[in-house]
Amino acid sequence: MSYVNHYDVVIAGAGIVGASVAWHLAAGGARVAVVDAVGPAAAASGASDGAVSVASKKPGPLARLASASLVYTRDLAAGGVLAGAFHARPSFVFGQGAAELAALDALVSKLHAISGPVHVTGDGPAAQLPCLGPGVERLITLEGEGHMPGHKAVRAYLSAPGITPIWPAPIQGFDIDDAGVTLHLPDRRLRAGHLVAALGTRTTDLFPRLPILPRAGQLFVTDRGVPDLLPGSLTAAAYLVAKTEASDAVPLPPVVVDPLTTGQFLIGSSREPHADPNRVDFATLRQLMARAVSALPALAERRIIRAFAGIRAAVADSLPVVGPLPGESRVTLATGFEGDGICLSALMGRELARMVRGLPLTQGIAADLALLSPARFTDARQEAWG
Ligand SMILES: Cc1cc2nc3c(=O)[nH]c(=O)nc-3n(C[C@H](O)[C@H](O)[C@H](O)COP(=O)(O)OP(=O)(O)OC[C@H]3O[C@@H](n4cnc5c(N)ncnc54)[C@H](O)[C@@H]3O)c2cc1C
């Protein structure tokens, strides 16, 4: 088999993380190929809610990186590559009962401590928003966050000149030598100076001992309703607890309602320990819908027109895996973004492009990025990377 093509960098995976890295590298003049087994946004990036949210992040490195990514996403949307993909809107977080009200207190303290781009502009009873119903005891209003459908961002990033799309092409393996990396595709081999593996839950196909765990999430979409009924996303505090503490300590459905620009509502999302994107569980959907209706009664008039599931790539320590493969400077990993990949993608694309080009990381976030290094899985290292 002869070698065809030669790229500076091959990106494995056309999800939002791979697409963002590709765009940043191409913008810096690199010749980039993006290879995907199916096509753009075929996995989690095409089946997600799309909240670019700091409020939903665990305090610490993840919240700080999300703040930096939100600011950068807003920059890229201001007449840049993400102009048609990201839109700013308020976020409303609501609670009912002692456990959720305590979670709202924690949210306010966290945002105050971060002192970042997201501000609490309202805190009080549901009456602040006339469309809300009896399921909302207290409502926090946040300004600064936004929404970005994953498929729109992927399309925007990949339309840049200098990026060669290659799909459908499942990568079956790769070899590394002193001069570069050779990717094994079903019908050919690709040569590049560097490989960035952004394969989501399927990272373990090529790096089998990396501790990536599937977390399924179900979402559903309504028909078109009254436009502008809900001016921003509406999130139950239970969702923040489920996400930041990986616990179901709040015994209420962790619902999120996001109004789409089409007038439809996107409603999600569960967290289930399996990897089957074809499994839709109607009991879960009913629970989420019942809570959504009690918070936003007008939803009772809407019909569900689509239900689907996406699979998040989770890591046991709840941090993504970003950085060079230990001992192999020509391979960089970017995976494990669980429920945060849409939010983090802009920043990750910029910083991964800097890593690949051998440039220093952006000051102020380098220490947090170092915590994401694959080198932290020391036990798995030999077999995972061998
Ligand atoms: C229900 C749900 C709700 C979510 N809500 C949010 C949210 O509100 N905000 C947020 O920030 N994040 C959210 N997320 C998380 C977000 O969607 C993911 O973190 C993000 O999409 C991950 O992007 P990725 O590029 O790392 O992986 P993916 O999008 O999974 O992309 C990986 C790509 O690799 C390709 N691939 C796999 N194996 C191979 C192979 N061998 N060869 C070639 N290609 C291969 C796949 O086809 C796929 O296209 C949600 C996720 C789900 C499931």
Q: Does domain 90-144+212-315 have CATH number 3.30.420.10?
A: no
- Residue nearest to ligand 1 atom 14, measured at CA: 339
Indicate the CATH number for domain 3-45+151-211+318-385. 3.50.50.60
Summarize pLDDT for 235-280 with one digit per residue, the tens. 999 999 988 876 667 788 999 999 998 899 999 998 888 999 888 8
Ligand 1 center to 314 CA (angstroms)? 11
pLDDT score for 141: 96
38, 48, 152: residue to mutate for ligand 1 pocket, most atoms within 8 A of CB: 48
pLDDT score for 365: 95
pLDDT score for 28: 95
pTM of the model: 0.96
Ligand 1 center to 366 CA (angstroms)? 24
Given this chain, do its domains 3-45+151-211+318-385 and 90-144+212-315 carry the same CATH topology? no
Which ligand 1 atom sits closest to the C-alpha of 172? 41
Summarize pLDDT for 12-42 with one digit per residue, the tens. 999 999 999 999 999 999 999 999 999 999 9
Mind spelling out the 3-state secondary structure of the chain? CCEEEEEEEEEECCCHHHHHHHHHHHHCCCCEEEECCCCCCCCHHHCCCCEECCCCCCCCHHHHHHHHHHHHHHHHHCCCCCCCCCEECCEEEEECCHHHHHHHHHHHHHHHHHCCCCEEEEEECHHHCCCCCCCCCEEEEEECCEECCHHHHHHHHHCCCCEEEECCCCCCEEEECCCCEEEECCCCEEEEEEEEECCHHHHHHHCCCCCEEEEEEEEEEECCCCCCCCCCEEEEHHHHHHHHCCCCCCCCCCCEEEECCCCCEEEECCCECCCCCCCCCHHHHHHHHHHHHHHCHHHHHCCEEEEEEEEEEEECCCCCEEEEECCEEEEEEEECCHHHHHHHHHHHHHHHHHHHHCCCCCCCCHHHHHCCCHHHCHHHHHHHHC
pLDDT score for 355: 97
Per-residue pLDDT of the chain (386 residues; tens, 9 = 90+): 445 558 999 999 999 999 999 999 999 999 999 999 999 999 999 999 999 999 999 999 999 999 999 999 999 999 999 999 999 999 999 999 999 999 999 999 999 988 889 999 999 988 779 999 999 999 999 999 999 999 999 999 999 999 999 999 999 999 999 889 999 999 999 999 999 999 999 999 999 989 999 999 999 999 998 888 999 999 999 999 988 876 667 788 999 999 998 899 999 998 888 999 888 888 999 999 999 999 999 999 999 999 999 999 999 899 999 999 999 999 999 999 999 999 999 999 999 999 999 999 999 999 999 999 999 986 544 454 44
pLDDT score for 250: 75
Domain definitions of the chain by residue range = 3-45+151-211+318-385, 90-144+212-315
pLDDT score for 255: 96
pLDDT score for 162: 92
Ligand 1 center to 37 CA (angstroms)? 13
